[in-house]
Structure 1
Amino acid sequence: MRKGHATTPSIRTTSPPPPAGRPGTVDVSGFEDPRVAAATYRAAGLWTGRTLGNLLRDSASQHPNRTAVVAGGRRWTYAELDRRVDAIAAGTRSRGLDRGERVVVQLPSGGEFLPVLFGLARAGVVPVLALPAHRRTELTAVARAAQAVALVVPGVHARFDHRPLARAVQQDVPSVRTVVVAGDLAGPEDDGRDGWCTLSDLEIGGRPAAHVTGPGGPGPEPSDTALVLLSGGTTGTPKLIARTHDDYAWNAVASADAAGLDATSTYLAALPVAHNFTLVSPGTVGAVAVGATVVVAPSPDPATVFGLVARHGVTHTAAVPSLLATWLDERLAPTGPVEDLSSLRVVQVGGARLDDTTAAGVQGLLGARLQQVFGMAEGLNCYTALDDPDDLVTTTQGRPLSEWDEIRVVDDAGHGVPDGAPGHLLTRGPATIRDYLAAPAGTDGFTADGFYRTGDLVRRLPSGHLVVVGRAKELVNRSGEKISPAEVEGHLLAHPGITAAAVVAVPDPERGERTVAVLVGGAGVPDRRTIAVFFAERGVAAYKVPDAVVRRERLPLTAIGKIDRAAVLADVGSG
């Protein structure tokens, strides 16, 4: 394997093995049966039988006095974090929550998230990770779909009181019998008599506890569900993604290796901590798995992030493209103190397609190696290697994490397409789920032989690297021509007068659909005629020039920093 990628089982061949994710790399016969695949992953040493609680316990044993977490002006060593997790796990059990039951966790980035995550996981109780921005509609839908028995919420966060929200969800979902508040209770009625308590009370009730063997029996098995993530869709009720201890632990450790993250590293969680990217690519769980320090940023703005990098010697961090652009802009034209970022070694970007022009500027402006990350909460992770040639780092979204990640790129009929041709991405592997939890009837996310239909359109290079073209459902059908919004956005962002772009389709009576580009860039934003000339100079087909151009001061973003395309479409309407 290449430097910067996870170690996988050696393959006995007379010639170098094919690139990761290519047919023939490993023997996957019979893997349509998930039991066969699981047994093979264990025999091959990928799934090692470690639970998330074991990951932390091992790091605490090896590095008890090393700083584990820095958040909100507080810090905990690995030994201290491990004791907190034990207390939360035991307190959880003492309140009658049993192994396998599900708890919706709606905590912001801060010092409480990781102890709660690992505490529940160590007890065998399953955290279902909601976002702080969720309100009654979303939270009720998630709690009901998960058949949750408890909620963990902040008190007041970002000037919003989550306690009345928790009370409403408890009323809406009869299975919710317990509410834990990471803060003060709302009033005397919210006490232990009706199932409410504070996180501090939960911890105090669980001390001392060296191991969790109290009410409810022993801790989890590696094959048990470790946590439940929400699908990344921006519309409708999110689907529930159940990840096991086996697959999530492997994902974390292998991703840490791919990113060059080890016990000497410091990882800055700048994105929301409940997002899979910030958890396991390698994220906070990967950092804990290797004994690194996690610094939690209260805000992802450049001043906060750069200050934390300088103050704590941050070596690794991650961003989505829109956030990365603000960091680069600040570095290019500082509005405040110019911080020392010399400790920074790797800046990851994922969550959406990064345009090539922005990618090329990372090394020069931040002084760190760019690592493109393409993945999904359903399991697959792809990375550019730290020693990949620059042209691959800036123009591709990496290769699958291991040789055991199977990749198919197919046409609309399900037939394989040649390298370089765009197609639908299907995947199966040691971190990829086989079905959604409590999936509604008719969910068509998986093939009969266990491949996950990602919904992404990609091109695969002969090297095995993937180039993300867009989302299948986002393709614009304009007079029979298929247009990828992501591709058009990439060309638009290459124009010096454009700092952000979103391309959406609106109905058109003559062409079926037409494209509207919403552009940000101040007075320098070009008009459609200028864009047409610019595209022609770049050798781009004329039909890809947006049919209309709209200027805006900023683009709407989702809670995790992605462009909110539904909001963009609502803004431009059908006029």
Structure 2
Amino acid sequence: MNAALDGLTPWPEELAETYCKGGCWQKQNLASWFTEKVSNKENIVLSGLGIDGKPQDLTGKELHLCVQALAQGLAKLNIQPSEKVVLQMGNTNSFVITLFALFELGAIPVMALPGHRYREIEHFLNLTKARTWIAGDNEENSPIPDLAVKLKEGVPSLQNIILDKQDTGPFHSLGSLLENNEILESTNLGHAADPAGIAVLLCSGGTTGLPKLIPRTHRDYLFNAKASAEVCELDEKDGYLVALPAGHNFPLACPGILGAFEQGARVVMCPSPSPDIAYQWITDTNATVTALVPPLVRVWLQNAELGFETPSTLRLLQVGGSRLDADLAQRIPNELGCKLQQVFGMAEGLLNFTRSKDPDLLVQKTQGRPLSELDEIRIVDNQGQDVPSGQRGELWTRGPYTLRGYYKDQKANDSSFSADGYYKSGDLVRRLSSGHLIVEGRIKEVIRRGAETIPAESLETHLSLHSEIKAAAVIGLPCERLGQQVCAVLVNQKETGPTLTLNEVRHFLIEEGVAHFMLPDSIEYVPELPFTAVGKVAYQQLISTFSNPSPKTTH
């Protein structure tokens, strides 16, 4: 069996033929595409922090040489075509170089996120049988070195730990792997990769348990990026600022890094989305397009209220990740001085965009319409029956860039896909006569804290393991800065006596290997959890109770 197809649920032959004839799928892989788009460019195509932590500009030729050199260095570690490699890096030039070096080798990156810790990384390593973890971030007090030690001790199959730091101790240094490498043909094995095979494994922002992995093929992911770039009207005069964590689907390929390279635009790896840092990078590089989540939009608007002007080169702000309030949407053109594009998508595939010619009302109050004419949409009730037009229901979808199954997770596939291959998104939407969608929530409880999706049920499971906690409910409370903050509502095991502090709860969860971004921002105690008439936790009641807590109840 072709190793690149291992863990991939294929599209039915008749649909695959339709997608090929429709021009969605091309006979090209990411390695050969990257060489074609970048290798001969004399202009700057990538700006960001280099390995030394200083700003670095790379022309297309320079970037391509760096990619080839690193591919040669990685080949010395015996990384093979179709081998999985867990990639967990911040927004630096090294992220881009490493990603395409892996494509050059024909290896398959597993896109871990910066906030992932031992529990998630161990899961990815074991599920994919990856022997290599490549990691780095922009933090001064980085948790990565300690995590490296813990992974080395706890995962026997992990053979190669590569850190994007100058002082890596006993581990491999990305910089040393880049140096003194003769460019050999043996490193471009990725150019022979099957376009129908897995190119990258994305992380699902799902609602329960450990993250699922999403197999994206070369041909579907290239279509994803190319079509997105066209909708955003990117061209060679643009600069795309990567403000959100680069391992997310949104800044990677919607249009993101891939879409920018497709159109000859410059990619700018911004180390932080905060206005004081992002604005400087926009100014220094003349960036024109970026993407944010709604809580960050609020921060940028607050910055404008204080009299700080958004750099004049910014022409388009994409907003996605969760629903953008209409009142914020209306403020963006006047206060930030750029056009708004709403984006509603998922790493599993389907993308919806508002278009530049859409009336203001649709741009401000909807989350866009599907990217491709071959995207198929159903909006169904809880019995799987289509609802009348304009009514709310769960979004089901299939299409040329939407997965047909998660990576090696039959249990999830059984519950997440219909018999005829529609992906059950869990999103509650309404569809207008124009085809635009309005997102109205999710079926399962998730908390959207900044750019991260936190499954309440998973965190509740961890909390319930503590000997002093009888029961736990996790809720999202309104937060101007983050959109929502995480609140753990706890029932003490003993009716009287001391209760755990917030720091004690957070420390326990860290010891359990819970990702840092999932840790509670606050805790509250109740004698018993409230329940609905059908025996479910009354989350809305808890949210109403603690949205404006008294000073005595916040720990």
Q: What's the offset of the Cα at 1:393?
A: 0.4
Q: What's the offset of the Cα at 1:412?
A: 0.6
* Matched-pair contact (CA < 8 Å) for 1:68–1:288: no
**Between the two proteins, what is the percent identity of the paired residues?**
38
Is 1:328 matched up with 2:328? no
Q: State how far apart, in whole Å, the 1-side matches of 2:215 and 2:438 are.
A: 27
| 1:253 aligned counterpart, secondary structure | helix
| 2:297 aligned counterpart, secondary structure | helix
Q: What's the offset of the Cα at 1:153?
A: 1.6
* Matched-pair contact (CA < 8 Å) for 1:151–1:178: yes
Structure-2 residue corresponding to 1:414:
384
1:3-152 aligned within 5 A: 34-61=12-39, 63-71=41-49, 72-152=54-134
Q: State how far apart, in whole Å, the 2-side matches of 1:226 and 1:499 are.
A: 32
Q: What's the offset of the Cα at 1:244?
A: 0.9
* Matched-pair contact (CA < 8 Å) for 2:71–2:187: no
Q: What's the offset of the Cα at 1:32?
A: 9.7
Q: What's the offset of the Cα at 1:425?
A: 0.4
Deviation sequence 1:333-354 (CA, Å, 0-9, x none) = 23xxx34622111100000111
Aligned length: 471
1:522-537 aligned within 5 A: none
Structure-2 residue corresponding to 1:170:
152
Is 1:301 matched up with 2:279? no
Amino acid paired to 1:382 = N
1:115-264 aligned within 5 A: 115-154=97-136, 157-184=139-166, 186-187=168-169, 190=170, 196-204=171-179, 206-209=181-184, 212-214=185-187, 219-233=192-206, 236-264=209-237
* Matched-pair contact (CA < 8 Å) for 1:222–1:246: yes
After superposition, the CA RMSD in angstroms is 3.1
Deviation sequence 1:292-341 (CA, Å, 0-9, x none) = 1111112111111222222221110110000010001110223xxx3462
* Matched-pair contact (CA < 8 Å) for 1:229–1:377: yes
Is 1:434 matched up with 2:404? yes
Structure 1 residues 503 and 92, CA gap change in structure 2 (3 angstroms) = closer
Q: What's the offset of the Cα at 1:504?
A: 9.1
Structure 1 residues 448 and 332, CA gap change in structure 2 (3 angstroms) = same
* Matched-pair contact (CA < 8 Å) for 1:270–1:318: yes
* Matched-pair contact (CA < 8 Å) for 1:504–1:516: no
* Matched-pair contact (CA < 8 Å) for 1:180–1:198: yes
Unpaired segments of 5 or more residues in structure 1?
1-30, 191-195, 477-488, 519-545, 554-570
* Matched-pair contact (CA < 8 Å) for 1:425–1:458: yes
Structure 1 residues 155 and 333, CA gap change in structure 2 (3 angstroms) = closer
Which of 329, 332, 343 aligns to 1:373? It is 343
Is 1:461 matched up with 2:432? yes
Amino acid paired to 1:229 = L
Amino acid paired to 1:173 = V
Structure 1 residues 392 and 369, CA gap change in structure 2 (3 angstroms) = same
Q: What's the offset of the Cα at 1:133?
A: 2.1
* Matched-pair contact (CA < 8 Å) for 1:310–1:339: no
Amino acid paired to 2:65 = R
Unpaired segments of 5 or more residues in structure 2?
1-8, 448-474, 490-528
Q: What's the offset of the Cα at 1:281?
A: 0.9
Amino acid paired to 1:407 = I
* Matched-pair contact (CA < 8 Å) for 1:231–1:240: yes
Q: What's the offset of the Cα at 1:360?
A: 0.7
| 2:172 aligned counterpart, secondary structure | strand
Structure 1 residues 498 and 137, CA gap change in structure 2 (3 angstroms) = closer
After TM superposition, the score normalised by the length of structure 2 is: 0.78
Is 1:550 matched up with 2:525? no
Q: State how far apart, in whole Å, the 1-side matches of 2:173 and 2:547 are.
A: 51
Q: What's the offset of the Cα at 1:109?
A: 1.1
1:332-481 aligned within 5 A: 332-334=305-307, 338-339=308-309, 341-441=311-411, 443=413, 444-474=415-445
Structure 1 residues 435 and 217, CA gap change in structure 2 (3 angstroms) = closer
Structure-2 residue corresponding to 1:515:
540
Q: State how far apart, in whole Å, the 1-side matches of 2:437 and 2:267 are.
A: 30
Q: State how far apart, in whole Å, the 2-side matches of 1:39 and 1:206 are.
A: 42
Amino acid paired to 2:178 = E
Deviates more, 1:92-101 or 1:197-206: 197-206
